[in-house]
Amino acid sequence: MTRELTETQQERIVRDIINHKSESRAISNEPYREDEIEQDREYFSTMSDEELIKSWSGRVGEWICSIGNEYPSFIEAWETVESEYEQPAEWQLEVLLDNGNVDYGYQFYVYETPYN
């Protein structure tokens, strides 16, 4: 079954993917230029809802599942809801879609959270 996203939910996912890429680029010491950000924004904005969710899962979702003990407060929050979700990424996708106030963050970002 394909999930139908609202425009706001789509925008939150696009912003989160771009923030994740910005973080990755900064860590790798590669600039994420304004024109690249705009190209990525346009690219992700043209995806179907299913493609967009898969793209988020393959980028941000995989990172969320790998952060482990780096962020104890994230792990503590996860432990309060883990019985409801199979993976932390599944939980955070729901949070992202519901209100944009995710439990992880970025040091190098383009968009501030929570995503409105």
Q: Is the pTM of this model over 0.75?
A: yes
Backbone phi, psi, residue 103, to 5°: -95, 10
Residue 70: its pLDDT value, please?
Answer: 77
Q: Which pLDDT belongs to residue 90? A: 94
Q: Break the chain into its structural domains and give their ranges.
A: 7-98
Q: What is the DSSP letter of 22?
A: H
Which residue's structure tokens are 């139908």?
4
Per-residue tens of pLDDT for the chain, all 116 residues:
568 999 999 999 999 999 999 999 999 999 999 999 999 999 999 999 999 999 999 999 999 988 866 778 888 888 889 889 988 999 999 999 999 998 888 888 899 877 77
The enclosing H or E element of 49 equals: helix 49-56
Contact 75, 103 (CB under 8 A): no
Q: What is the pLDDT of residue 46?
A: 96
pLDDT of residue 34: 95
**Measured CA angle at 73 (ends 68, 79), to 5 deg:** 70
